[in-house]
Chains A and B, each alone.
Chain A
Amino acid sequence: MSKTIVPIGPFHPLQEEPEFFTLTVEGERVVAVQAAVGYNHRGVEKLSEMKTFDQSTFVIERICGICSTSHPFAYTEAVEDIFPVEVTERAKYIRMIIAEGERIHSHLLWLGLAGHFLGYNTVFMWAWKLREEILDVMEILSGNRNNYAMFKPGGVRRDFHAEELPLVLKKIDSIVPTLEMLKKAVTDDPVLHARTKGVGVLSYEEAIDFCALGPTARASGVAHDVRKDSPYAAYGSVPWDMIVLKNGDVFDKLVLRILETFESIKIVKYCLEHLPEGPIDLGLKDVPAGEGIGRIEAPRGESFHYVLSDGTNRPARHKVRAPTFMNLPTYKATIVGETISDATIILAAIDPCYCCTDRMAVLDVKGRKMYDGEDLVRLSQEKTEKIRNKMGIK
């Protein structure tokens, strides 16, 4: 059978990380995959060396639009590691509330898009409606729906107001019943099982070899979470469970993110109810010479920052490692051998800040047939429809 090259990407209005994939297919099956990144390389590491320690927080907050808190969090942890100092209890709790709120809305965003690609637009509508509530909560707490600008080396920039907290708790409680319903819908649906179970499997050994992180690794049975292994902020004193599943397929990644959302809600509620009183900022002045490492669990996995200071007011080197950098290459293991109609959801299962899928173009060399991204989503949705009909579900 002749081989066909399927180019995917690189640009899409929804994505913040343009990526370009070249799938080599034989008929329906993918036999090889190659990825090219860097279309949106902004030189943040270099830029950060030109800013002061305080200014850098704002620059790196703009690395990612969805998990905008994870990078400042890791960066401030790294700068505080240079001293080393510990921030105040209240600052720790505020940091955790912001970080977990972000995890909730990031996972809901992913769940909605995954539903859309599988042809479950109801899931998409419900999940994004729930996400609005969380964005409202974030706006009440920080003043922004995203890019909260709450973090600074030595503490947080803004305090919470006590009179807002009851409304926040009420809003968070309001999403739980609908989320329960979504969880039941996903775990009980036979069509969803048929579409996602055993699809795009990342084995335990492959997850170790690729050094995969976060939900991608935990769905493959790698029981690691920075929040449990190396409790930063006050994660050590908050009761919550780490979710680990073992199959490593798309279904497990889907279920894992839903279950994690419940854990995050648990953490946010605990933190809001036990918010300690006290100052929120240490007022750090000069950063001494030295080096520091900051690791935190972002929604997509561990975010790693290394900051080298030479005693001036700017970082001499600032290395940023986002979780997708390690998770993205796992495509090599998951996508080969699967069909094109499954490629959309496998590429999406890692939650790579949602790229590529809308600008997918299939070029059949002989028939000169072209598909764009919409066709590929349609292809995926039609497959669900077929399974649905076969099972007699309307």
Chain B
Amino acid sequence: MTRQEVLNSIRERFKGDIRNFLERSPKKIYIEIDPNALVPVARHIFKDLGARFNTASGVDTRQHFEILYHFTFEELDMVVSLRVILPRDRLEIASLTSVFEGANWIEREINEMLGIRFIGHPELRHLLLPDDWPDGVYPLRRDYKEWDPNAVRDRGV
């Protein structure tokens, strides 16, 4: 499949779900999609088009939360990033673990760092944070405040 065929295939199949289609460079494509359509779009890209899942980046942009699911088409030398935007008051999205195992850990990480719930994840427990980390405190959020009065932490310059 050529590069254009792959992009057209995504574009046509999910016409109603794509909100923004940005070709920043020939190698880097950013597609913003409806959060409800994530699983079918990801399945199409991973299973039918044969891309590899790199990772997902969760971002707190102050107004809302974003998750970017990065997929690589090795033969085409192209990274496709699916962007979903989640409003601050409804932080949940379907899990991709049913499509491929590689999403398991990164979803656990985003869950504990940003507090986004992944519906259908088999074991959504802490991955990196310690067991005694309090509930409802998410370190990568913009409004994160020091919660432990005894902690001595270098705050940087």
In the complex, are the beta carbons of B100 and A209 less than 8 A apart? yes
Query: Are A46 and B130 neighbours in the complex by a CB distance under 8 Å?
Result: no
B contact face: mostly helix, strand, loop, or mixed:
mixed
Task: Contact check, A45 vs B59: say whether CB atoms are below 8 A apart.
Answer: no
Select which of B27, B72, B105, B128 is within 8 A of A41 by beta carbon: B128
Does A293 sit within 8 A of B, measured CB to CB? yes
Which residues of B lie under 8 Å from residue A332 when comparing CB positions? 101
Interchain CA distance A224-B140 in the complex, whole Å: 32
Residue interface bits B58-79, CB-to-A below 8 A is 1, else 0: 1111000000101010110101
Closest to A48 in B: B156
Interface code A29-47, partner B: CB below 8 Å = 1, 0 otherwise? 0000000011001010111
Given contacts A38-B130, A295-B79, A321-B55, contact A224 B101 (CB under 8 A): no
Complex CA–CA separation, A317 to B100 (angstroms): 26
A304 near B55 with CB under 8 A, answer: yes
Give every chain A residue within 8 A of B130 (Cβ-Cβ): 38
B102 within 8 A of A: yes
Q: Which residues of B contact A325 (CB under 8 A)?
A: 55, 105-106
Chain A: number of interface residues, binned into ranges = 20 to 34
Q: Tell me which of A38, A43, A328 contacts B139 (CB under 8 A).
A: A43
With A38-B130, A50-B156 as known contacts, state yes or no: A306 contacts B70, CB within 8 Å: yes
Is there contact, CB below 8 Å, between B102 and A210?
yes
- Given the complex, which residues of B lie within 8 Å of A321, measured CB to CB? 54-55, 106
A51 at the interface (CB under 8 A from B): yes
Kindly report which residue of chain A lies nearest to residue B127, judged by CB atoms.
A38
B52 beta carbon closer than 8 Å to chain A:
yes
Please determine whether B140 and A46 come into contact, CB atoms closer than 8 angstroms: yes
Q: How far is the CA of A47 from the CA of B128 in the complex (A)?
A: 16
Report the bound CA distance from A325 to B100 in whole Å: 15
Quick check: A37 and B128 within 8 Å, CB to CB? Answer: yes
Chain A residues 176-228 with CB under 8 Å of chain B are 208-211, 224
1/0 per residue, CB under 8 A from A, across B14-56: the answer is 0000000000010110100000000000000000000011110
- Indicate whether A144 reaches chain B with its CB closer than 8 angstroms: no
Given A81-B28, A306-B68, A319-B55: A229 and B75 interface contact (C-beta under 8 Å): yes
The reply to whether B104 and A308 form a contact with Cβ atoms under 8 Å apart is no
Taking A321-B55, A325-B106 as contacts, is the C-beta distance between A230 and B77 under 8 angstroms? Answer: yes
- Tally inter-chain residue pairs, CB-CB below 8 A: 85
A window 64-92: CB within 8 A of B: 81, 84
User: Digit string of A280-295 for contact with B (CB within 8 Å is 1, else 0)?
Assistant: 0000000000010101
**Residues of chain B contacted by A43 (CB below 8 angstroms):** 139
Is B95 in contact with chain A by the CB < 8 A criterion?
no
B55 proximity list for chain A (CB < 8 A): 304, 306, 319, 321, 325-326
Per the bound structure, the CA–CA distance linking A328 and B102 in Å amounts to 10
Known: A37-B127, A81-B28. A295 touches B140 (CB 8 A): no
How near does chain B come to A231, taking the closest CB pair, in angstroms?
Answer: 8
Using a Cβ–Cβ cut-off of 8 Å, how many residues does chain B contribute to the interface with A? 38
Interface string of A298-311 (1 = CB under 8 A from B): 00001010101000
By CB atoms of chain B within 10 A, which of A224, A229, A293, A321 has the most? Answer: A293
A337 lies within 8 A of chain B by Cβ: no
B117 within 8 A of A: no
The answer on a CB contact under 8 Å between A304 and B70 is yes
- Our pick among B52, B61, B106 for the contact of A224 (Cβ within 8 Å) is B52
Q: How far is the CA of A81 from the CA of B106 in the complex (A)?
A: 24
Q: B6 in the interface, Cβ–Cβ < 8 Å? A: no
Give Cα distance in the complex from A51 to B154, angstroms.
Answer: 12
Chain B's closest residue to A38 (CB) is B128
Contacts of B157 in A (CB 8 A): 50-51
CB contacts (< 8 Å) of B79 on chain A: these are: 293, 295
With both beta carbons as reference points, the residue of chain A lying nearest to B110 in the complex is identified as: A319
Across-interface contacts of B75 in A (CB, < 8 A): 229
On chain A, the residues within 8 Å of B52 by CB distance are 208, 211, 224
Flag A224-246 by CB within 8 Å of B: 1 or 0 each. 10000110000000000000000
A329 adjacent to chain B (CB < 8 Å): yes
Residue B119 is within 8 A (CB to CB) of chain A in the complex: no
Q: Measured between C-beta atoms, what is the minimum distance from B89 to chain A in Å?
A: 21
How many angstroms between the C-alpha atoms of A325 and B61 in the bound complex?
A: 25
Assess the A38–B129 pair: CB atoms within 8 A: yes
State A43–B79 Cα separation when bound (angstroms). Answer: 26
Q: Are B77 and A293 in contact (CB under 8 A)?
A: no
Q: Collect the chain A residues with CB atoms within 8 Å of residue B155's CB.
A: 50
- Interchain nearest-CB distance for A355 vs B (Å): 15
Q: What are 26 A-B pairs with beta-carbon distances under 8 A?
A: A38-B129, A38-B130, A41-B129, A46-B139, A47-B156, A50-B155, A81-B25, A84-B25, A209-B100, A211-B100, A229-B72, A230-B27, A293-B70, A293-B79, A295-B54, A295-B72, A295-B79, A306-B55, A317-B59, A317-B60, A319-B55, A321-B55, A325-B106, A328-B105, A329-B102, A329-B105
Chain A positions within 8 Å of B, measured between CB atoms, are 37-38, 41, 43, 45-47, 50-51, 81, 84, 208-211, 224, 229-230, 291, 293, 295, 302, 304, 306, 308, 316-317, 319, 321, 325-326, 328-329, 332
